[in-house]
Amino acid sequence: LPVIRLKGNVINISCSTPGSKIYFTDNGSTPSFTAKDEYTKPFKLKKRVEIKAIAKVYGVNNSSLVVYK
């Protein structure tokens, strides 16, 4: 399950499941398993947005969708 943390204006998303990739959006839509939605590093927020994240391990069911408002 992804964990979304806000510190100041920086968002960090992590998952403790080994081998998982995290996919996210910051526009309220559901993330897709594509390179454009893959989380790779913390990022700064310019305004308050709804972030959705999901973790995926190849060959295993997806995690639940996590929403941060």
Rg over CA atoms, the chain:
11
Q: In which band, very low, low, confident or very high, does the pLDDT at 44 lie, cut at 50, 70 and 90?
A: very high
* Residue whose token pair is 């998303």: 13
pTM metric for this prediction: 0.92
- Please check the confidence at residue 65 and state whether its pLDDT lies above 90: yes
- Please check the confidence at residue 61 and state whether its pLDDT lies above 90: no
How far, in Å, CA of 40 to CA of 35, rounded?
Answer: 10
Q: What spatial distance separates the first Cα and last Cα of the chain, rounded to whole Å?
A: 17
Q: Residues 2-40: pLDDT tens digits?
A: 999 999 999 999 999 999 999 999 998 999 999 999 999
How far, in Å, CA of 1 to CA of 20, rounded?
Answer: 10
